[in-house]
């Protein structure tokens, strides 16, 4: 194909350039795991399936610079308390609470990605009958897993008593649930909640 300036467009693969752009666009499967989950939650909300939101991080604002009314700039702030998990809400009369983590590690999920206060919060949610889990994305494998909190606890407690400080990829693949990437509900974790809890 020749463009108006006379140059010729040749794609590296020899295929249609527009088609190649679409392939590249969808090969990334979303900018980040958080973007994909936020998009999924928006779809759930708009289709009246569930009400699940990202929790805001509690911040105490100390100082604000007002150069003009429409351009206020926070110049000093601090975290009021440690955050718990990333997302919470309601689905089919059940409380849903989860943490989302992405790793570039090929062979395991490092437990250093989670904090003790988050695990204690997850234990409390499970104790009170809520649905609690991790969504873990292995970026290298382009795979995203639903990993129930109940399956996390033994690995977390084990590392505190000298055990491994990570969960092997094979274990997450066996004990977790692969979430296939989709168009509208990109990370359709409600499908897995339906299978496990209803």
**In Å, how far are 67, 92, 99, 106, 192 from 176, measured between CA atoms?**
51, 22, 14, 16, 10
Contact 134, 147 (CB under 8 A): yes
Task: Tell me whether residue 99 is annotated as binding.
Answer: yes
For residue 194, say whether it is annotated as part of any ligand binding site.
no
* Distance, CA of 159 to CA of 116 (rounded, Å): 12
Contact (Cβ atoms closer than 8 angstroms) between residue 18 and residue 9 = no
Q: Is 118 annotated as a binding residue?
A: yes
Residue 146 burial by Cβ neighbours in a 10 Å radius (0-12, 13-18, 19+): buried
Q: Is 195 annotated as a binding residue?
A: no
Give the dihedral of Cα atoms 55, 60, 64, 70; nearest 10 deg. Answer: 30
* Pairing of the two strands 94-103 and 131-138: parallel
* Known binding positions: 84, 86, 99, 118
* Known binding positions for Mg(2+): 84, 86, 99, 118
């Amino acid at each position: 194909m020749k463009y108006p300036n006379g140059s010729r467009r040749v794609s590296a693969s020899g295929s249609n350039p527009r088609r190649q752009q679409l392939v590249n666009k969808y090969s990334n499967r979303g900018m980040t795991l958080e973007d994909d989950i936020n998009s999924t939650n928006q779809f759930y909300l708009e289709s009246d399936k569930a009400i699940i939101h990202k929790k805001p991080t509690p911040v105490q604002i100390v100082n604000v610079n007002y150069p003009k009314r429409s351009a206020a700039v926070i110049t000093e702030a601090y975290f009021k308390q440690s955050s718990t998990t990333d997302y919470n809400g309601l689905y089919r009369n059940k409380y849903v609470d989860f943490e989302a983590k992405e790793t570039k590690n090929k062979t395991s999920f490092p437990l250093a990605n989670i904090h003790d206060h988050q695990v204690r919060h997850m234990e409390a949610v499970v104790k009170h009958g809520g649905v609690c889990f991790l969504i873990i994305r292995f970026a290298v494998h382009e795979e995203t897993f639903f990993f129930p909190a109940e399956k996390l606890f033994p690995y977390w407690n084990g590392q505190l008593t000298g055990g491994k400080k990570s969960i092997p990829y094979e274990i997450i693949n066996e004990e977790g649930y692969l979430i296939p990437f989709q168009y509208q509900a990109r990370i359709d974790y409600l499908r897995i909640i339906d299978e496990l809890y209803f």
